Amino acid sequence: MKKSFLLSTVFTFIYKISFAQIEQQIEEEAAGIGDKINAVFEPIVDVLAIVFFWDPVKAVGIDIGADVPIIVLWLVVGAVFFTFKMNFINVRGFKHSIELLQGKFDDPNDKGEVSHFQALTTALSATVGLGNIASVAVAITLGGPGATFWMIIAGLLGMSTKFTECTLGVKYREIDEEGNVSGGPMYYLTKGLDKRNLAKLGKVLAVVFSILAILASFGGGNMFQANQAFAQVQGQFPVLQGHGFWFGIGMAVLVGVVIIGGIKSIARVTEKIVPFMAVLYVGAALVILGIHYAEIPAAFKLIFSSAFNADSMYGGFIGVLMMGFKRASFSNEAGVGSAAIAHAAVKTNEPVSEGFVALLEPFVDTVVICTMTALVIVITGRYTGYELEGAQLTSSAFESTISWFPALLTVAVFLFAFSTMISWSYYGLKAWTFLFGDSKRIANAYKLFFLGFIVIGASSTLGAVMDFSDMMILAMAFPNIIGLYLMASEVKVDLKDYMDRVKSGAIKRFK
């Protein structure tokens, strides 16, 4: 008995040592791969930063006391243009958007794969996430409370851009014999511009967009999410520290189970996760705002006054404005074109109807959720006098009133990261199959690559890769918005025709 117990103890000890060595070796190899990838991307990031964050205002010799990055200017000018071009569809179309979301115009015979609500939650799951937690805090830290005002304005303007791109996403989608849908900028850039005798330009823009979308899906839509999720989880569970590889394996398994089923499986998950995330995070914000309800008017007054009378430490009025627009653009992705890929799968024969549903995204993401985060940070006063930034600042602001909020934030970050990854896997897959074909073997190759990058992201410090991936997401706006400008008049004609038929009753209510 003693001998067998001794042997068992010895074997257990040897097994643990061997397993620990194997685990350490795997962790080191994964981190090593990450370091090598990081080293490759560092010089690329430096070059791209010169392009994407080039300041055209300074280039002509004008110093306004703040940077005006070309990519932010590109998105903002586009949002303003589409708002006027579509006669403020972001305001006058809000009521009809809600009716569509409620299914009042749903025709069960329409072609497609997912409902209006599922398409919306799939797209929202890719935008509602770490940007709402960290980007708001960054905006207020660098731009002061006034940056919140400009984030709200950017969100409202971005609604018009989302309307335009998602209408085109449905109009030029392709549906195969089995009912599988493919759509997004890749398709409306090629088909839409071909109608205007700009076929070569359309193909070039579509290929450029697809390459950027694939790279963005591996980076910002994948590795960044896994990395930040692990950082938050290991902060709450010290036992996981140093075990990023195994965390990545576990997350890859969870993501893999969902994405194998395609858009229908992704939509079924996101329609449950997104409302839960909203209740979880927004609920906590409402509790804090309820406790401090008497301070809300003063907070809004500070936000508004700071937006126009910014202290010089924030770069003046222009500095605050640009910071607000910049962080809002990062958060809601209006103009990037990614959401059009998800909305293309909707069950409808009316492309404009999905444009209406899509314009709700920036409103929910930026106007509602980001504003609530900002109010909590401003009311609790954590944006001054504390050496905190990003998610840490948001967590501290919430924790000042709800002591157990860091644990809740951990759950929220994990769900945000998970939902973002499954949505971006679909975006990247559609761009991948557009370039290389839609056979099952080719699609599975992308999915395996995607799952592998989750493990690398959770195991490594990938600063340069994350910077690169953020740039790729924003860079998608260059080819996309060029196409939107060229097809804006077409969307406006379609909008008028659709609204005339709604008013006349030609488009029937089913509920």
Tens of pLDDT, residues 340-353: 888 888 888 889 98
Average pLDDT over residues 420-439: 87
Q: What is the DSSP code (8-state) at residue 389?
A: -
Phi/psi of residue 506, nearest 5 degrees: -65, -35
Indicate the pLDDT class of residue 87, thresholds 50, 70 and 90: very high
- pLDDT over 80 at 38, yes or no: no
* HEC letters along 60-87: CCCCCCCCCCHHHHHHHHHHHHHHHHCC
Indicate the pLDDT class of residue 312, thresholds 50, 70 and 90: very low
- Whether 209 and 189 have beta carbons less than 8 Å apart is answered as yes
Q: How far apart are CA 136 and CA 132, in angstroms?
A: 6
CATH number of 38-504: 1.20.1740
- Whether 483 and 205 have beta carbons less than 8 Å apart is answered as yes
List of residues 6+ apart from 41 with CB closer than 8 A? 464, 465, 467, 468
- Whether 328 and 161 have beta carbons less than 8 Å apart is answered as no
pLDDT at residue 89 in the model: 92
Q: Where are the domains of the chain?
A: 38-504
Intra-chain end-to-end CA distance of the chain, in Å? 75
Task: Say if residue 13 is exposed, middle or buried (CB neighbours under 10 Å; 0-12, 13-18, 19+).
Answer: exposed
Which residues face 114 on adjacent strands?
Answer: 346
- Whether 79 and 160 have beta carbons less than 8 Å apart is answered as yes
Percentage of residues in the chain with pLDDT exceeding 90? 15
Average pLDDT over residues 169-191: 86
Q: Which residue has the higher pLDDT, 64 or 45?
A: 45
Q: What is the DSSP code (8-state) at residue 133?
A: I
Tens of pLDDT, residue by residue over 373-395, are 888 888 887 777 666 666 677 77
Percentage of residues in the chain with pLDDT exceeding 70? 77
Location of structure tokens 């499954």: 422
Instruction: State the Rg of the chain over Cα.
Output: 24
Tens of pLDDT, residue by residue over 109-140, are 666 666 767 777 766 666 666 666 767 777 78
Average pLDDT over residues 84-100: 89
- Whether 80 and 157 have beta carbons less than 8 Å apart is answered as yes
Q: How far apart are CA 429 and CA 435, in angstroms?
A: 10
Tens of pLDDT, residue by residue over 47-57, are 777 777 787 77
Tens of pLDDT, residue by residue over 139-151, are 787 777 888 888 8
Indicate the pLDDT class of residue 491, thresholds 50, 70 and 90: very high
List of residues 6+ apart from 398 with CB closer than 8 A? 284, 285, 288, 376, 380, 405, 408, 409
Q: What is the DSSP code (8-state) at residue 181?
A: E
Mean residue pLDDT of the chain comes to: 79
- pLDDT over 80 at 405, yes or no: no
Average pLDDT over residues 482-508: 89
